Amino acid sequence: MKLCNQKEKDIIRVKEIITDLNAEKKNLIEKLNDMKNMSDTINIEEIGILNGELSVLKERLRKTELKIADVSSASTEQLKILEKQLRDGQDERRRMHNIIQELRGNVRVFARIRPFLPGDDVTNDAKPCVIARNENTLRIARKSAELDQVFSFQYNRVFSPCTGQDTIFEEVSEFVQSALDGYNVCLFSYGQTGSGKTHTMQGSGVDQMRGIIPRAIEQVGRYKDNLEREGWQYNMKVSFLEIYNEEIRDLLRKENSEKLKHEIKSDSDGRRFVTNLTLKSLELKDSMQMDEIMHLATKHRSVGRTNMNNNSSRSHSVFTLHLTAKHPVQRKAIRGTLNLVDLAGSERLSRSGATGDRAKETMCINKSLSSLTDVFVACGKKSNFIPYRNSKLTYLLQPSLSGNGKTLMIVNVSPTEESFQETLYALRFAANVNKCELGKPKRSIEDIHATDDEKRINLSLRK
């Protein structure tokens, strides 16, 4: 009986535990549901907040896109304005550049005094007979038993013996620039044999010793890059010839073409050219190609030994850079030529000791230089007749020597007293050249007419 009563008490206690557990379960379920409902409410609120922020971001993005579109449209218009201003600025630069050239004179003369060289056979304390007094004046003097001879000359620029190749080119670079602007330009290197003409024009080696020709090509390359970014399309070729005993020889010829005849002709537009002359396309940034051209020309050029120089140039050499360019948008085309001329040395037969072929060469050289003198004298006097045809040198370079071109002469002189007479002659000749005034140079620029295909395209676009 006691056992049964105990079991019943146990059953009642278990039921109470079950009841308590069910109640707790119910409470837990209610709490769980309450938490779930609360969680859903929180998520909804967060989603609402995020949706609101997203809407704000979308509106800001839309406004930003509209602003970008407005700015882009304005930038396009501004870019067009800036491009036009840039073109106008370049045109104004060219105009001002050429006004300055005209004010300075389209014929300019520089004088360069070379230093003493080992071959001059002078003592260490020898004094030069030619000295630069300032940037524009030099003096040449010689003492003799009879009288002291002192002469002063004034030029556009005078370079002392210590002047480097870089300074020389800095002064002539503006003429090089004119060729790219569509003008006929000519730079002469003039003087007696052994005065440094070829060194001035061609130089030697690399870096500081380079002459005008390689430096000019380098400058043209840099300037060409700038112009091409403005829309110009350039085509450049070079030729290199010599005039030897009044005969034209191609210095870039192939070995089997020595017997080709070369004549100076004019095309239908009046532009001067030489028949059968080699024209080489030039990659301006390829220094090795330029070196090969200079080496080939040096190999073919006529040289000979005289009492004044063991390796005297016996001809006039003419390096020409032929420039053509067009601007499709502006529909403009320009043509320019840059002639870099290394003249044969002026000399007296009595001093050079030339005989036979050398004597004949000397007479031809002096005759052509006299013809060049006559041309400059006639230009200086503004004569109606200019004797360009008296030599092939002046006839070939007529476009640059006439009023349509720009000319610069560098007269190179020796400092030795032994060369006094030749130096005095060269300085007097240069002084006469410096008095010349050419007419206003003409830029070779023309309009490009639209092709039939372009006209049809433009017509269809307008429709």
Q: Is residue 437 in a domain?
A: yes
Same domain, 117 and 80: no
Task: Count CB neighbours of 242 within 10 A.
Answer: 21
Q: Which region holds residue 191: left if phi is over 0, alpha if psi is between -120 and 50, else beta?
A: left
Same domain, 127 and 15: no
Q: Is residue 460 in a domain?
A: no
pLDDT in tens, 350-367: 555 555 666 778 788 888
pLDDT at 30: 63
114-118, 154-158, 256-260, 457-461: range with lowest mean pLDDT:
457-461
Whether residue 17 is predicted with pLDDT greater than 70 in this model: the reply is no
Whether residue 186 is predicted with pLDDT greater than 60 in this model: the reply is yes
Q: Is residue 453 in a domain?
A: no
Same domain, 137 and 74: no
β-bridge partners, 332: 327, 447
Which run of H or E residues covers position 319?
strand 316-327
Same domain, 406 and 317: yes
Question: Which residue is listed with tokens 């006004």?
Answer: 99
Domain boundary among 82, 104, 126: 104
Same domain, 251 and 387: yes
Same domain, 394 and 407: yes
Share of the chain above pLDDT 90, in %: 26
Question: Which residue is listed with tokens 């050499």?
Answer: 317
Domain boundary among 104, 136, 168: 104
Mean pLDDT, residues 103-113: 77
Beta strands in 137-259 (DSSP E): 137-143, 148-154, 157-159, 184-191, 233-244, 247-250
pLDDT in tens, 363-411: 888 888 889 888 888 887 788 899 999 999 999 998 888 766 788 999 9
Mean pLDDT, residues 242-252: 92
Mean pLDDT, residues 274-293: 85
Whether residue 462 is predicted with pLDDT greater than 50 in this model: the reply is no
Whether residue 69 is predicted with pLDDT greater than 80 in this model: the reply is no
Q: What is the CATH number of the domain that holds 426?
A: 3.40.850.10
Same domain, 320 and 259: yes
pLDDT at 455: 43
Query: How far is Cα 318 from Cα 264, in angstroms, rounded to an integer?
Result: 13
Between 354 and 129, where is the model more confident? 129
Q: What pTM does this model have?
A: 0.73
29-38, 64-73, 348-357, 452-461: range with lowest mean pLDDT:
452-461
Same domain, 144 and 93: no
Rg (CA), the chain: 42
Same domain, 276 and 351: yes
Same domain, 269 and 149: yes
Q: Which domain holds residue 125?
A: 107-447
Asked if residue 177 lies in contact with residue 437, where contact means CB atoms within 8 angstroms, the answer is: no
Total number of domains constituting the chain:
2
Three-class SS of residue 118? Answer: helix
pLDDT at 352: 52
Identify which of 397, 389, 380 has the alpha carbon closest to the alpha carbon of residue 438: 380
